Amino acid sequence: MMGLMASDETRTETRTKTRTETRTETRTETQTGTGAQGRAGGFVSEVPGEASATRAWTTWTTRLLILGIVLAAVNLRPAITSLGALLEEVRDGLGMSGSIAGLLTSVPPLCFAVFGVTAPRLARRFGPGAVVCAGMVAITAGLLIRPYAGGTGGFLAATALALMGIAVSNVLMPVIVKRYFPDRVGSMTGLYSMALAFGTSVAAAATVPLTDALGGRWQPGLAVWAVLPALAVLPWIPFVRNRKAPASTAPSAPRPEDGRSAEKRAEQPPLRITRSRTAWALAVFFGLQATAAYITMGWMAQIFRDSGVSAGTAGLLLAVIMVMGVPLAFVIPRVASRLPHQGPIVVVLGVCGLAGYAGLYFAPVGGAWAWALLLGVSNCAFPLALTMVGMRARTGAGVAQLSAFAQSTGYLISIPGPLLVGVLYQHSGGWGLPIALMSALMVPQIVVGVLAGRDRTVEDEAGR
């Protein structure tokens, strides 16, 4: 009898102890984030005050990060389009020849190709937030220094400094969106693209009026654009030392990608990307559309001005070309992603470009606004190229490798275009030959774009 009682007491104590330990372990898992919610990347506190503080902190950091992304994107093109609007004044002030001015318009793709490849390595060492913050500082310094550098060499060097900051930020913006907003990549990319197009068009339209308001000298008209990147530095300061995305159970909070997924991607052998015909077609397509874009940003305002359009109106026409990217950056990727073959979209954009250049050649003043609209549609080949990068590879690692190959090769291809336009303009004394060159480049852009838009993947062509 005593043995049975002892046995019952032992079982009772064991069950009580087990239940107690289970509750203790559950609380420990919840507090440390190793339970179900912890594995999802969250942190839950049983203390209401701590939970409220955590939610408030993640909401604040999310909003600050979104603000930082938008402000950084706004500053990725004004250094280029503001110079295009005042290129004639800069040339006269510094005594530049047409060839040197063409070199100046070729500096952006050169810097993007050279400095952009260093961005992933810098991000791994210092963190992407720190690199973007440093990029905004470099843009600010370059835009402040270049109008007062004193001479063509100093102007080019300061421009390269600003473009270096743009290059690394340009590469890391999509990386930051993917890392901190993996469940909202589409919407955040749309917001980023819209801010980029907005900054591009505003700089093109407002540079001449701002210059007039500041006394008519081109130096303050260029230097004033240093204000925006200086403001963009501020929201990135809290992320300089924060190399990891904050974890939160809130659906709107920034969260990093799953580490196990990253490990699996790292284990995959790299593609032999140069064996893929689609990769090469996409790289050439990217390079030719970038050539057209940088010729437009560097020279189009000058083309309109030399045709008899006032400086202010020429800046507005350039702004119209650039602002077309705001709505079409949302429409084109959605339409393209629903089609098995993106060739028809490539053809439509190319035909718009050919029509715009033809009108610019035969009636540059009479139909200036129509030609600006057509060229604006044609310049939207950039979001189409980015969309095709995502569709021409099956895996995340394949997309990353294809994107790096297409963009780095494409920017290298685009370097001679703006320089050649300047040389042709100087030696011919007019814009007939440069416009003919732009029209001629549109034909191979259509051809390689159709090839790149075929329904196939680089994994099938390159192999592993």
* Residues 449-460: tens digit of each pLDDT: 999 999 988 888
| Arithmetic mean of pLDDT, 393-414 | 78
Rounded to 10 degrees, what is the CA torsion of 263, 267, 272, 278?
A: -40
User: Of 263 and 358, which is predicted with more confidence?
Assistant: 358
Is the pLDDT at 263 greater than 50? The verdict is no
pLDDT confidence of residue 336: 85
Measure the CA–CA gap between 455 and 62, rounded to whole angstroms: 37
| Arithmetic mean of pLDDT, 24-49 | 40
User: Of 10 and 307, which is predicted with more confidence?
Assistant: 307
pLDDT confidence of residue 397: 64
Is the pLDDT at 324 greater than 50? The verdict is yes
User: Of 279 and 84, which is predicted with more confidence?
Assistant: 279
pLDDT band at 269 (very low <50, low <70, confident <90, very high): low
| Arithmetic mean of pLDDT, 387-401 | 75
> One-letter amino acid identity for 116?
G
pLDDT band at 116 (very low <50, low <70, confident <90, very high): confident
Is the pLDDT at 36 greater than 80? The verdict is no
Given the structure tokens 């030719």, which residue do they identify?
A: 288
| Arithmetic mean of pLDDT, 149-165 | 91
Is the pLDDT at 266 greater than 50? The verdict is no
| Arithmetic mean of pLDDT, 406-428 | 88
% of the chain residues with pLDDT over 70: 79
Is the pLDDT at 4 greater than 50? The verdict is no
pLDDT band at 265 (very low <50, low <70, confident <90, very high): very low
User: Of 36 and 340, which is predicted with more confidence?
Assistant: 340
Ranges 147-156, 180-189, 352-361, most confident: 352-361
pLDDT confidence of residue 272: 83
pLDDT confidence of residue 185: 63
Is the pLDDT at 1 greater than 50? The verdict is no
| Arithmetic mean of pLDDT, 376-387 | 88
pLDDT confidence of residue 186: 60
Task: Name the least confident of 22-26, 270-274, 318-322, 405-409.
Answer: 22-26
pLDDT confidence of residue 350: 97
pLDDT confidence of residue 8: 46
Ranges 38-52, 115-129, 155-169, 173-187, most confident: 155-169
pLDDT tens digits, 56-104: 557 888 889 999 999 999 999 899 889 988 988 998 899 887 777 777 7
Structure tokens at 328: 């079409």
pLDDT confidence of residue 341: 93
**Closest of 95, 86, 122 to residue 305, by C-alpha:** 86
pLDDT tens digits, 178-228: 678 877 766 676 677 788 888 988 998 899 999 999 999 999 999 999 999
pLDDT confidence of residue 286: 92
What is the Cα gyration radius of the chain? 27
The Cβ of residue 21 has, within 10 Å, a number of other Cβ atoms equal to: 10
pLDDT confidence of residue 56: 58
Given the structure tokens 């559309």, which residue do they identify?
A: 289
| Arithmetic mean of pLDDT, 325-331 | 80
